[in-house]
Amino acid sequence: MTNNGGINSNDSGRSYSKWSSLREYAAIKLCVSNSGTDWLDDMIRQSQRDKFAGLAMQAILSDVESSIVIARQAKTHHLTAHAFATKIARDIADSMLVELEENHLKASLKN
């Protein structure tokens, strides 16, 4: 097991160099879609979207007043409350991803 700049190159018995570059490894571990590999960045973004949508869904459903509003709004859109809450959670997740991408772009332009 070696150590490269504070990053352990052995993760569960697999060296990052056998399956990815150090940058890809860091992107996976940090959940940042900046690996330099398009398909990997797409997977990381999808994982982030799923995580954000799940957190948004928890927040929506944990509040009684929000749940009542969701149920009412769902009827006007001819959806079940669950389907409407899922749509809202995905919209929130997508907005969060856009904001993150913009912040990453701004940060990279400063450097």
How much is the pLDDT for 33?
A: 87
Task: Tell me the one-letter amino acid at 66.
Answer: S
Range list of H helices, the chain:
16-19, 22-30, 38-62, 64-76, 81-110
Among 57, 60, 47, smallest CA distance to 100 is for 47
How much is the pLDDT for 12?
A: 52
Among 51, 50, 27, 52, smallest CA distance to 37 is for 27
Scan for tokens 């929000």, then name that residue: 66
Structural domain boundaries in the chain: 1-30, 37-110
Name 83's Cβ contacts closer than 8 Å, sequence gap at least 6: 74
The tokens for 87 are 């749509």
In tens digits, the chain (111 residues) has pLDDT values of: 444 444 454 545 555 556 678 889 888 888 888 899 999 999 999 999 999 999 999 998 898 888 889 989 999 999 999 899 999 999 999 999 999 888 877 877 876
How much is the pLDDT for 3?
A: 47
Radius of gyration of the chain, Cα coordinates, nearest whole angstrom? 19
The pTM assigned to this predicted structure is 0.68
The tokens for 73 are 């709004």
How much is the pLDDT for 19?
A: 62
- The pair phi, psi for residue 4, each rounded to 5°, is -115, 100
